[in-house]
Structure 1
Amino acid sequence: MDSNPGYSGQMDEEELTQKFLRGEITFAEYSNEWYGKDDEDLDDKADDDEPCPIPAQLKEKFNSKRRSKYTRLSTALLGLMGEANIRFVRGEKEIAEKMCYEIIRQVPNAPEPYQTLAQIYEGDAEKHLQFSLLAAHLSPSDAHEWQRLAAISKEKNDAKQEMLCYSQAVKAEPQNIDLHMKRLELLTALENINYPLNTLKVTRVKCYHKIVTSLPPSEGETIMKYAKLAASLYHSGNEIERALEVMAAAYKKCSSLFTLEDTNLFLELLIARRQYQTCIEVFVANAEVEIEAEIQTLRDDNNIVEQTSYLNCRIPTNLPIDLKSKLLVCFIYLKAFNLVRTLLDDFLTNDVEKAGDLYMDIEEALSAVGNHELAFRVLEPLVKNQSFDLGAVWLKHAECLYQLGREDEAVNSYFNVLKHAPHHADARQKLFNILERKNCIDDALRILNQDYKLTVSAGLLHQQCLILKKYNRTLEYLDVGVMLLYKTFVKFRRPEEFKFARYSRSPLELIHNYRISRGEKPFNDDIHFDEQETFKLSPQEEWELFKELLSIARKYGKYHVMEKLSFGALMSKSLAPHQQEIEFLCFQACLLNQDYSNALILVKDFAQKYANIVCWNMLNLISNLSDDHIQSKYLTRLFNKKPHIIKNLLIGYTYLTSGRYLMAMKYFLEYNEHRKDALSALTVAVTFLNMVSVRTIDKHHNLVLQAMAYLLKYQQLRKCDQETFYNLGRAFHMLSLNNLAIEYYEKVLACEPLPACEQHGVMNLTREAAYNLCVLYKDHSPKVAQSIMLKYLVI
């Protein structure tokens, strides 16, 4: 085991002692390892008269553990110890020291040899302190010795060791108030210099608590002072159980010193822990309340049970109203409704303006036990008072009416709740249920609408989605569903932000930086979900809702909504398993929304990941639709790893659309040489025809002849008369050889349609050919053009 603190179990006693003596561990660490704990025990017995709250079995185990450390020396070792002391007195220190170490070797947890060694090393301050600490630790009942060691630790500026010494002194003499005060003074001094108190394992409230549990009843005023201080600190830290412990200890020792304020605090803590019977006893003992009760013995499932029935109660006229309200609350929870009704009549005569909060406490107790009729009596004066025209009060009023079956009146109360708290989800849900039962569907659905400028309930949005779906309000369902998904999806502001959603690392940070660069607020502040709400869609529910909303948006042409949803899904952690499918949905949404720049980014990514004909076709499609044509350099890089002849077709098309016909011809000829199919021949022919239109290129006649040669080769390979006649007609039309163009267009009209296609049905180029004929005839033969139009182009 290394010398670093943080032990997982108790090490060998001799090894532990040697580590301390060598300075490898501090005394606090040594003490912690020795006892297995380094915090003081607040439940230590204060004196012999006070019962120990530790259970008997645990107490016996704890005491046996302590006894195992405080071993007494055997007769032989006692003789050796006496010999060592005689040698020390005679000045034979080396022999005395060896004798002490021999005793420590055999019994390392006996205090006597350490005491003698401390005297031997009195001239060596460090060793004297070490042996003195060990001796005091093994015989901890000497409070004066602990005080002396605390003073030495203070001189050495060792605050942690000083505090430990004072804590041990307090344990040795728990009824010594001076020791408690010195420890508190040290704690105050350390607080003033901002010492890290969390390393001491001693807090101010624990010191207060220890004083209360340690001092005898004769120190009643001191006990009360520190009990109230401790209770206040515990209460502010929401440690109700601890606050009750310290007040109960003070009450047990000096209940006669409890003022009405103290009693009120004690009762409040008892009620918080539902100790209503104890509260009644406190009222009788400290508040001069007289109660008549009888105890009935009942048999329940072969068990004898005692039940207390409260018959009468007499309250002093000068009893403060807050104590009256607490007595009433106790009787409510004890279900003594015969007394509750009488006491409630008296209580309701108090001014609502001054006692409104107490009214609320009583109403809460009545509602908790299900007595909504009496709860409603308490609420009526509150809702009529202007000072308590609050959403919380109206909500309780509405709940009481709802529970009593008075739904028509409850509607008005729920509307008052929403007037004060428009974001209250539960009130909206209850109001919807009432209006739906009354068949006021439109009003009920409007009630579910939340103001997105306020705090939004995701749970209510989900309920609204289900209800809108139930009533076939499809577009409203789409809007609300999108808002619900914004709980996990990013709400994009513009299409330029979509590209950041594809980055796997810190996409949110990229979006925020982009917004900052534009001088905008980085975070979406237009919708705030209730952070305290526990509702959350499961990953499967989120996925199903996303797909359904996407389908609705597509059906109704809400393509911008499709795109926002799709890119939002890319950044949802719960939808990460569906990443591949979502990416393709993003691509579809971009196409439908004509966002070709983002579609281009996505399709490039597809082409890198999935090298197949489908991806290359999509790449070519976006190239046709986008103003930013695919660059040849990108295509070259794309096909470097996995060469494919389709590269020539794509790069050739890129050069063709950019007007670089010679480069296009190079790639198309290579493609034609490799494939020798109809498409490759057509691409070469089209390139030759485009070159004819360029004035800077010579020998146009040769280009025309070559174009026609490849067109005829295309006709031979294609073996589809209507298509080939049409393309030949277009070529002659382009070359202004109108007589030949007319001939081939007329051949198109005379041909049968193209073979049927499973995806597109029958393909027919008749109308296209007829239109081109009309264009050729309209200037010179308008009647022929009109007859062709009437025959082929009229629907």
Structure 2
Amino acid sequence: MDKATPGASRDNTEEMDVEKDLTNKFLSGEMSFAEYSSEWCDGEDEEDTEEFKRNDGDVAQSVQLIEKSNFRRRRRTRLSPALMGLMGEANLRFARGDIEMAERMCHEIIKQLPTAAEPYQTLAQIYEHDIEKSLQFSLLAAHLSSSDAEHWWRLAGLCKQINDVKQEMICYSQAVKSEPQNLEAHMKRLDYLTKLEENKYPVNTLNITRVKCYHKIVVSLPSSEGEIIMKYAKMAATMYHSTSETEKAVEVMAAAYKKCPSLFTLEDINILLELLILQKQYQACIDIFVSNIGVEIEAEIQTVKNSNGEIEEHTNYLNCVIPENMAVDLKSKLLVCFIHLGAFTLVKNLLNDFLGSDVEKAGDLYMDIEEAFSSVGHYEMAIKLLEPLVTNTNFDLGAVWLKYAECLQKLGREDDAIQAYYKVLKHVPQHPDACRKLFTILKMRGDIGEALKILQQDYKYVVSASLLYEQCQILKNQNNLFKYLEVGEALFSRDLTKFRNQEELKIACRTKGTVDLIYSFRTMRGESTYHEEDIQFEEESFRLTNQQEYEFFKELLKIACDNKLYCTMQRLTFYAMITKGLHFCRQAVEFYCFQACFLNRDYSNALRFIKEFSTKYPGPRTYNLLSFVINSLDENTHGKFLSRLFLKDYNIVKHMFLGNNFLISGRYLVALKYFLEYHEQCREPLSALLIAVTILAMAAQRTVDKHHNLILQGMSYFLTYKQLRKCDQEAYYNIGRAYQMLSINNLAIEYYERALACGPITTCDKHGQIDLTKETAYNLYVLYKDQAPEIARRYIMNYLVI
């Protein structure tokens, strides 16, 4: 008997520990049986295919590998003599009808050795009256023992009775593993999969797919089943190719080729060669050409030193003879292989033969060979294949002209390359690669104006984000800030959408990552998901980091602000609200949004943000901004918000806010109440002025009695205001306004004259003198113009002429 290696023993021990841990978790109720089965069987199909891929031997070796694999997975945990005796006693008690004692004995054995199959088999018989529990014990016993395929079929039938689809599929897969060379087992599993698909069952939730079943058939069946192997190999390769799993497609076709190469037709060989070329297995392709197509190749092995100084073998191809009737597509593939293998002495002869092919029929093959030449840097050879194509009307395509232009550029023929790139843009007006490369050539020639025109994209069509970013960098370097702002805004709107209404803006203000929510909102309303003005971008891997995107956003915002483009500024900030990359600086973005709305005089949207700021950051600056925004709005429905704002953190400023709100809305008595409460505590000139204005507004109402008393009270508060303000020009001006409103013109003129005699209110470094002289003179002009036009004219000439 061969001794087991230490590594193998260690692997077996680890595997047994995993099995024991899984079994204990199931018995203790930590996982359901479905989870237990999934953990047990997860990935076994993939392991099988990997083993066959690594196996380079014949069918006999494959059979041995299957047997070893099954032995490794299905090894039994043997009971010790003591436990064997206890197991026999349990079976005897069960046969005599002492079911309770038999069950207790089985559980005792499981407690000592959870991975032994015998106690689970007995428990399955004990619970025959409970089909679900009996099935679980039977499945557990089958997992832990070397069950044959028939046993798994029987268990699959029991699973079907309780409609356990997932476990039934696991049973079919286990049956296939028990007898991998049994075609009937594979077909039963495929039939069951077909039934599930017909019944619309979500088969993607199972640990098996149709293409895996096909792959398993190919790697499991012996070479005597060649026709079946070929059938399913083609089906699997087609499915893998459709999902871009080229490596898997190569695996399954290579496995079929090793088992039955004689059954490969020219079409099958062509498919295999194409897949091998995609995987860059050029030497394997050469072997197939020699063994199956009749190509004769003379070569020698040379030993050379590589760049690291190591000796390695290198194949030097000396001569090649191809069959006379060899298909042109096979010739092209042989050429591609020799190009990548560096056999250019053979390539020249084969290329001359290939160039005699009809361009109309073999144009795609011309492109394949050209790509091979270009990939190894032989552009002078590649151009020979492109020239016949660009002169052919059937291949007057953008892709062909792009390859041609790139070759010309590599060969240094810049004038011809420029014309070729213009041809590309004629066919595909916004091709990003062509625009980028043509821009590079024009820029190197110093033609910056024309180069920038090339980068300009029409936003009505699909645009490239990477090209927009490059255009931004060039415009920034050229200091073309307005164009930079336009292109930058277009780039910044990637993966975003424009707001259609205020409801969508509310969603953006309340939540993060709102693009998907806005799309869902539109769908719910029966609207088109995308805004008609949204720019459509190509699918690209181009991305800015979160920090880069934030800096880019601030840069665009600064340009818009400096140039007073407040509408653009507001659009940018709204974009930023729903940009996922700017979630880390959400608070800053919200403040930028408020500033943009404020500067753009969109006070209704500014109010959304300043309300939140006043709650989070209470203080004089916030309250001043809140007051300004509220007073700039037409509606006055903010009383409840203001009451809530100062409810928790009482602040005397509350009376000023509420008083102003009620004063503007015409509720003078309530406003007066709040102003008086504030004035009692603060004794400020502003509160005295507001009380005076409120009382005079009440006096002007027809429904109020004792107008004269109200006027006297109002004017007394004006005098209080004058004493507290200690600024004669402003105080006299406001008192004059009050008398003018009351039509007491003689007193109004007196106070206006006093205001004119006073100096300016103050001087500011930023705004200069703050002076009410012009306003006062104009009011005097209004008072005199009807009765004394000469005096009115004197005021205009003295104070209002620039």
- TM-score tier, shorter chain, comes to 0.7 to 0.9
The residue that corresponds to 1:435 in the other structure is 442
Q: Which deviates more, 421-430 or 311-320? A: 421-430
Query: Contact between 2:785 and 2:792, CA under 8 Å: does it hold in 1?
Result: yes
What are the equivalent positions in structure 2 for 1:9-88 lying under 5 Å apart? 9-11=18-20, 33=40, 37=44, 41-42=48-49, 43=51, 50=59, 52=61, 65=72, 69=76
- Say which SS state the counterpart of residue 768 (structure 2) adopts: coil
Whole-angstrom distance in 2 between the partners of 1:554 and 1:29: 63
Q: Does 1:584 align with 2:584?
A: no
* 1:140-151 matched pairs, under 5 angstroms: 146-147=149-150, 150=153
Query: 2:730 touches 2:772 (CA, 8 Å); kept in 1?
Result: yes
**Aligned partner of 1:41: which letter?**
D
- In 2, Cα distance between the equivalents of 1:125 and 1:610? 66
1:352 paired with 2:337, answer: no
Aligned to 1:468: 475
**Match for 1:643 among 637, 645, 650?**
650
Distance 1:753 1:535, change over 3 A: same
Q: What do the CA deviations read for 1:35-74 (whole angstroms, capped 9, x no partner)?
A: 9957783446999964747999x999x6884696386999
Instruction: Tell me if the contact between 2:282 and 2:340 (Cα under 8 Å) persists in the aligned partners.
Output: yes
Equivalent of 1:566, from 547, 567, 573? 573
How far residue 468 of structure 1 moved from its aligned partner, in angstroms, is 1.4
Counterpart position of 1:258: 264
Give the gaps of 5 or more residues in structure 2.
Answer: 1-15
**Corresponding position: 1:289 with 2:295:** yes
The residue identity in structure 1 corresponding to 2:769 is: V
Question: Cα distance, 1:466 vs. partner?
Answer: 1.3
Task: State yes or no: 1:604 paired with 2:604.
Answer: no
Tell me which residue corresponds to 2:785.
Answer: 778
Alignment of 1:29-428 (within 5 A): 33=40, 37=44, 41-42=48-49, 43=51, 50=59, 52=61, 65=72, 69=76, 146-147=149-150, 150=153, 205-206=211-212, 208-214=214-220, 217=223, 220-300=226-306, 303-428=310-435
Query: 2-side partners of 1:63 and 1:596: how far apart?
Result: 76
Which amino acid in structure 2 is aligned with residue 437 of structure 1? M
TM-score, normalising length: structure 1: 0.81
C-alpha separation in 2, matches of 1:708 and 1:202: 92
CA deviation after TM superposition for structure 1 residue 785, in Å: 3.0
**Equivalent in the alignment of 1:3:** none
> 1:149-176: CA deviations, max 9, x gaps?
7478659857988887887776677666
Q: Deviations over 1:356-397 (max 9, x none)?
A: 111121111111111112112111222222222222222212
Cα 1:754–1:355, aligned 2, differ >3 Å: closer, same or farther? same
Which residue identity does 1:469 align to in structure 2? K
Q: Is the 8 A contact 1:136 1:146 kept in 2?
A: no
- Structure 2: how far apart are the matches of 1:51 and 1:671? 101
The one-letter amino acid of 1:260's match is L
TM-fit CA distance, 1:729: 2.8
Deviation at 1:334, TM superposition (A): 0.6
Give the Cα–Cα distance (whole angstroms) in 2 for the partners of residues 193 and 248 of structure 1: 34
Q: CA, structure 1 residues 610+365, in 2 after alignment: closer, same or farther (shift >3 Å)? A: same
Query: Which 10-residue stretch deviates more, 583-592 or 466-475?
Result: 583-592
- Using the TM superposition, name which of 161-170 and 212-221 deviates more: 161-170
Tell me, yes or no, if the aligned pair for 1:147 and 1:166 is still in contact at 8 Å: no
Aligned-partner SS, 2:320: strand
Separation in structure 2 between the aligned mates of residue 417 and residue 693 of structure 1, nearest angstrom: 78
The residue aligned with 1:501 is 508
Moved more, 501-510 or 151-160: 151-160
What RMSD over aligned residues (CA atoms) do the two structures have, in Å?
A: 4.9
Shift in alpha-carbon separation, 1:729–1:356, aligned structure 2, 3 A: same
Question: Which range moved further: 63-72 or 620-629?
Answer: 63-72
The Cα offsets for residues 330-359 of structure 1, whole Å up to 9 and x where unpaired, read as 011011112212211211211122111111
Percent identity over the alignment?
A: 51
Supply the distance in 2 between the matched residues of 1:211 and 1:654 (Cα, whole angstroms). 82
> What secondary structure sits across from 1:232 in the alignment?
helix
Please show how residues 735-750 of structure 1 align to structure 2 within 5 Å. 735-750=742-757
SS state of the match for residue 69, structure 1? Answer: coil
- Matched ranges for 1:623-638 at <5 A: 623-629=630-636, 631-638=638-645
Quote the offset at 1:546 in angstroms. 1.9
Which stretch shifts more, 456-465 or 299-308? 299-308
Contact 2:636 2:661 (C-alpha < 8 Å) held by counterparts? yes
Aligned partners of 2:733 and 2:752 also within 8 Å: yes
Cα distance, 1:324 vs structure 2:
0.5
2:761 maps to 754
2:149–2:176 CA contact under 8 A, matched in 1: no
Q: CA, structure 1 residues 223+770, in 2 after alignment: closer, same or farther (shift >3 Å)?
A: closer
Q: Is the 8 A contact 2:74 2:144 kept in 1?
A: no
Deviation at 1:584, TM superposition (A): 3.0
Does 2:789 match 1:788?
A: no
Task: Compare 644-653 and 194-203 and name the one that shifted more.
Answer: 194-203
SS of aligned partner of 2:763? coil
The residue number in structure 2 matching 1:446 is 453
AA paired with 1:460? L
What is the aligned residue count?
Answer: 766
1:34–1:191: structure 2 CA closer, same or farther, 3 Å change rule?
A: closer
Change (3 A) 1:513 1:199: closer
Does structure 2 retain, via aligned residues, the 8 Å contact 1:454–1:527? no
Are the equivalent residues in 2 in contact too, given 1:40–1:167 (CA < 8 A)?
no
Q: Secondary structure, in 3 states, of the residue corresponding to 1:665? A: helix
3-state SS, counterpart of residue 794 of structure 2: helix
- Are 1:251 and 1:258, in contact at CA under 8 Å, matched by a contact in 2? yes
Mapped to 2, the partners of 1:399 and 1:284 lie a distance apart of 35
Cα distance in structure 2, aligned partners of 1:31 and 1:630: 62
What letter is aligned with 2:250?
Answer: L
Contact 2:557 2:572 in 1 (8 A): yes
CA contact (8 A) 2:317 2:346 kept: yes
Stretches of structure 1 that go unaligned for 5 or more consecutive residues are: 1-6
Q: Which has more radius of gyration?
A: 1
Note if contact 2:19-2:115 (Cα within 8 Å) is conserved in structure 1. Answer: no
Corresponding residue of 2:4: none
Give CA deviations for 1:419-456 in whole Å, capped at 9, x if unaligned. 33334222221122122222222222222222223222
| CA distance 1:52–1:525, shift in 2 (3 Å) | farther
SS of 1:456's equivalent in the other structure is coil
- With normalisation by structure 2, the TM-score equals 0.81
Match of 1:705 in 2: 712
Of the three residues 440, 449, 457, the one matched with 2:464 is: 457
Residues 594, 609 of structure 2: 8 Å contact kept: yes
Tell me, in whole angstroms, the C-alpha distance in 2 between the residues paired with 1:648 and 1:273.
78
Q: Distance in 2 between matches of 1:132 and 1:732?
A: 101
